[in-house]
Amino acid sequence: MSNLDSIFRDLVIANRILATEEVVDAYGHVSIRHPDNPNHFLIARSLAPDLVTADDIVELGLDGQPVGNEKRTLYLERFVHAAIFEARPEVTAVVHAHAEDILPFGIADATRLRPVIHSGSFVGSEVPVWDIADNFGDTNLLVTNMEQGRDLAKCLGGNNVALMRGHGFAAAGRSLIEVVRMSVYLPRNARALLRAKQLGGRIRYLSQGEIDARNRGYSPYSTETWRAWEYWANKAGVGDLLSRPEA
Ligand SMILES: [Zn+2]
């Protein structure tokens, strides 16, 4: 079995995990950069993530257009992925989702969404908020072309996550496991922060030192990291697709 087969399986697993963990619903998507061609990426055709199988994965270029003769309908917002892969050569996987718990932090500017729980540390110390209206005025809020995607990628900068005002978030990771984990814990971190705000008093965010310490202990294929991936995949009913890479 070729490496590409296991990449396809991993992408199916990622889709199913994000659906089961309610990061995505009918909408939202996850992609991975093509392992053999950094100017291409792999993503499902326009389909709810919970329904994605290996046959639904398409190959797109960094302009968001299909490679080869692809006739199936594609995600309208595939340009989120294309522009982030274009801007960030070190990024190998991207998630875009509309998870409800993060939305208030893109709407109200009184409280910044930053890590407050240990598992939220991988979000990073800065989570910029992108407002499509700043440069594009009144739109349907969706990222439907490269110009909008590049504007979002510019706002994301070197960060791991950007919120999209009134819409959702975009997350960029060095591996599929990393970006899925980030996307699962981002809404949990947001919920904890929102509840802490309700209790009142000073909000204690994770310090930069704590975030750095968490990052130092992270390895994409460590036993601890794999444990979460394996758990989520089985919970999502796709444990049979798991293939653990060499550490
Ligand atoms: Zn969207």
Per residue in 168-225, pLDDT (tens digit) is 999 999 999 999 999 999 999 999 999 999 999 999 999 999 999 998 888 877 888 8
The pLDDT, as a whole number, for residue 237 is: 97
CB-CB contact of 89 with 12 (8 Å): no
In the reported structure, the alpha carbon of residue 124 is separated from the centroid of ligand 1 by a whole-number distance in angstroms of: 21
pLDDT of 125 > 60? The answer is yes
Q: Which helix (H) or strand (E) holds 133?
A: helix 132-136
In the reported structure, the alpha carbon of residue 83 is separated from the centroid of ligand 1 by a whole-number distance in angstroms of: 14
Average pLDDT of the residues in 44-64: 97
Give residue-wise pLDDT tens across range 67-95.
Answer: 989 999 999 999 999 999 999 999 999 99
CA angle 57, 236, 104 (to 5 degrees): 85
In the reported structure, the alpha carbon of residue 143 is separated from the centroid of ligand 1 by a whole-number distance in angstroms of: 7
The pLDDT, as a whole number, for residue 245 is: 66
22, 70, 77, 126: which is the annotated catalytic residue?
77
Average pLDDT of the residues in 111-129: 95
Give residue-wise pLDDT tens across range 133-162.
Answer: 999 999 999 999 999 999 999 999 999 999
Of all residues in the chain, the percent with pLDDT exceeding 90 is 90
pLDDT of 46 > 90? The answer is yes
Please enumerate in sequence order all residues whose Cβ is within 8 A of that of 6, keeping only pairs 6 or more positions apart, or say none.
243, 245
Report residue 106's pLDDT band, with 50, 70 and 90 as the boundaries. very high
CA 171/CA 237 separation, integer angstroms: 24
In the reported structure, the alpha carbon of residue 28 is separated from the centroid of ligand 1 by a whole-number distance in angstroms of: 6
In the reported structure, the alpha carbon of residue 199 is separated from the centroid of ligand 1 by a whole-number distance in angstroms of: 31
The pLDDT, as a whole number, for residue 213 is: 92
Report residue 117's pLDDT band, with 50, 70 and 90 as the boundaries. very high
The pLDDT, as a whole number, for residue 1 is: 44
Please confirm, yes or no, whether 77 is among the known catalytic residues: yes
